[in-house]
Amino acid sequence: MKTYLDCIPCFFKQALEAARIAGAGKKTQKRILNELAGALPKFPLSSSPPEMGKVIYGLAKRITKKDDPYLRIKEKSNKLALNIYDKLKKKVSHSRDRLLMAVELAIAGNIIDYGVKNSLNVDAELARILNEENKAIKKESKAIFDYESFKHVLNNTETILYLADNAGETVFDRILIEEIRRIDRNKKIIYAVKEKPVINDALIKDALDCSIDKIAQVISSGSDAPGTVLSLCSKEFLRVYKRVDMVISKGQGNFEALSGTKRPVFFLFMAKCPVIAQDVGCEVGEVILLYRSLEELEKLK
Amino acid sequence: MKTYLDCIPCFFKQALEAARIAGAGKKTQKRILNELAGALPKFPLSSSPPEMGKVIYGLAKRITKKDDPYLRIKEKSNKLALNIYDKLKKKVSHSRDRLLMAVELAIAGNIIDYGVKNSLNVDAELARILNEENKAIKKESKAIFDYESFKHVLNNTETILYLADNAGETVFDRILIEEIRRIDRNKKIIYAVKEKPVINDALIKDALDCSIDKIAQVISSGSDAPGTVLSLCSKEFLRVYKRVDMVISKGQGNFEALSGTKRPVFFLFMAKCPVIAQDVGCEVGEVILLYRSLEELEKLK
């Protein structure tokens, strides 16, 4: 996805949020906004928002000299999600369609994102996910939900690359990966996180803290953009990306980075802003399972 | 009011909105955002938001070469408001406290503001104002509503300067001015509009279109900032501003520009953004009648 002009005010909002999370004083906050302003004219709109995200969080890190301002938030998110792991597992095992429930929970886990919503209360949101009422609302609004294709491709797949999004969400990913492995123990699953800290995106440490390494091979994308921008990823990662049978991409950032690229991908995310909702053709807050199949990629050309 | 860092993302949003209203293409929209980015580092946060507003709308005008992009919107707002003038008058005449109703309507008229809310539907909003249910909600939330002081000062006043905000809202101002004159025909009322086009702010033409000149002397502030920034006003205006017994200031822009200055002012506005709500100590969407009296100004020093 290219960057829309409406993303620009949001870039400044994100920079301010990052500066504050890093504990910057007002002068430093203003300096970060000024530097972002200086970078803006050179930034091409043909780039995807995560490319600008890398610039934003990079300059916030450099100026505040805090390498990982979201560390505590990530640790808290992991802990909170691990605390409800048993409840989530029960939800899956009590479902008529266990895989569907695991997919839905994996997408719902995507709301743990401090990068887009500022004052999101993780506790309340997690409680809301488990709330039956909300569950019903989610089911009604399934405008884009390519679950049949997901099942079909999954059944004909040996290797899966699973692109992680945020810390905490990793626990929800674990639930889905465990469900996939329950169906077929022989599938090889590779779980890719970010190389270095950016917003609350999951790193190798988060994957290990959530025990993903017990059920999948954990690798890094080689990049610290808040989305899998292929031109910034390592050769090792790209080799995997090209070779696997199926790619499951979590979160808005990965969608923004990959929706314009060539290979078929299943995008699982919640549409968190009006710009992406318009790009996808859905409502803000909608739960999306979007398959960019080979046929569709041909049509988009 | 000084500019808060949270105003900065909103400046970019406003610039984009102004560019689009002026019919600019995407390249021109980006150019306007780039130029705003260039101006940002030089802009001191000690200035009030309307001073930056003047820069934003000035560069949108210069680059799009449209002198008055909001002309049609203003004309439409005047027309819409004039269409409900009789209804508004009836509302006042059927009220137990006519002056209170006129004050409330004058503040409610302030929601006709394309500068802050982007997709505000004027028709629906005007209907909502006349809706009894909404009226009840408004009454409950009167946290800051210095109506007793307003009545007291009004009774001991011979000359009033009434600072206009937006086109359309002028009709609601007319209702309040007519009510003030009904109580005392001898009061001299001066109605001040902006000198040149900026957003949808009322100009002399709008005041005349809404027949304000029949009940008040219409003057200009001498400035095209979207708020009465005293350092940018004409000498003639400043003479009036200093000499009158009472100043009634309409809208958020005038509050932002004048809340830090020395003379007592009655501010009538609806708090439209979280930043101003926090500054004032109210909720977003709340109807405010705030008196900065001499005593309070002394305390604030």
Over residues A39-77, the pLDDT tens digits come to: 999 999 999 999 999 999 999 999 999 999 999 989 988
CB B227 within 8 A of CB B254: yes
d(CA A234, CA A226): 15
Kindly tell me if the per-residue pLDDT of A175 is higher than 60. yes
Residues in A closer than 8 angstroms to B41, CB to CB, are 34, 37-38
Residue of B nearest to A45 (CA): B30
pLDDT in tens, B142-163: 578 999 999 999 999 999 999 9
| CB spacing of B12 vs A8 below 8 angstroms | yes
Residues in A closer than 8 angstroms to B29, CB to CB, are 5
Residue of B nearest to A30 (CA): B5
Rounded to a whole number of angstroms, the distance from the CA of B119 to the nearest CA of chain A is 13
d(CA B23, CA A100): 46
Q: What is the ipTM of this complex?
A: 0.89
**pLDDT class of B34 with cuts at 50, 70, 90:** very high
**Token duo for residue A147:** 């679950």
Residues in B closer than 8 angstroms to A30, CB to CB, are 5, 45
Radius of gyration of chain A (CA): 18
Average pLDDT, chain A: 89
Q: What separation in angstroms does the CA of B65 have from each of B19, B22, B28, B202?
A: 11, 9, 11, 20
| CB spacing of B9 vs A10 below 8 angstroms | yes
CB A49 within 8 A of CB A256: yes
Residues in B closer than 8 angstroms to A45, CB to CB, are 26, 30
Residue A139's Cα: distance from chain center in Å?
21
Query: Which of A10, A12, A32, A59 to substitute to test the interface with B, most B CBs within 10 Å?
Result: A12
**pLDDT class of A270 with cuts at 50, 70, 90:** confident
| CB spacing of A9 vs B10 below 8 angstroms | yes
Residues in A closer than 8 angstroms to B278, CB to CB, are none
Query: Which of B7, B31, B40, B43 to substitute to test the interface with A, most A CBs within 10 Å?
Result: B40
Kindly tell me if the per-residue pLDDT of B64 is higher than 80. yes
Find tokens 């450099």 and name the residue.
A62
Helix, strand, coil shares of chain A as percentages rounded to 5?
55, 10, 35
| CB spacing of A5 vs B16 below 8 angstroms | yes
Residue B136's Cα: distance from chain center in Å?
23
> Among residues B35, B34, B37, B32, which one has the least CA distance to residue B17?
B32
**Token duo for residue B281:** 């100590």
Strand runs (DSSP E) across chain A, as ranges? 159-163, 188-193, 217-220, 246-250, 265-270, 287-292
Give the model's pLDDT for residue B13: 96
Which residue in A8, A33, A40 is closest to B5 by CB distance?
Answer: A33
Residues in B closer than 8 angstroms to A34, CB to CB, are 40-41
pTM of the model: 0.90
Average pLDDT, chain B: 89
Rounded to a whole number of angstroms, the distance from the CA of B41 to the nearest CA of chain A is 5
Residues in B closer than 8 angstroms to A37, CB to CB, are 37-38, 40-41
**pLDDT class of B116 with cuts at 50, 70, 90:** very low
Rounded to a whole number of angstroms, the distance from the CA of B40 to the nearest CA of chain A is 7
Sequence-distant (≥ 6) Cβ neighbours of residue A24 within 8 angstroms: A32, A60, A63, A64
Among A17-31, A79-93, A108-122, the range with the most confident prediction by mean pLDDT is: A17-31
Rounded to a whole number of angstroms, the distance from the CA of B127 to the nearest CA of chain A is 26
Residue of B nearest to A8 (CA): B12
**pLDDT class of A19 with cuts at 50, 70, 90:** very high
| CB spacing of B30 vs A6 below 8 angstroms | no
d(CA A280, CA A1): 10
Residue A134's Cα: distance from chain center in Å?
21
Query: Which of B8, B30, B46, B56 to substitute to test the interface with A, most A CBs within 10 Å?
Result: B8
Neighbours of A74 (CB within 10 A): 25
**pLDDT class of B84 with cuts at 50, 70, 90:** confident
Residue B178's Cα: distance from chain center in Å?
19
The beta-carbon contacts of B135-141 under 8 Å, at least 24 apart in sequence, are B135/B104, B138/B104, B138/B108, B138/B287, B141/B283, B141/B286, B141/B287
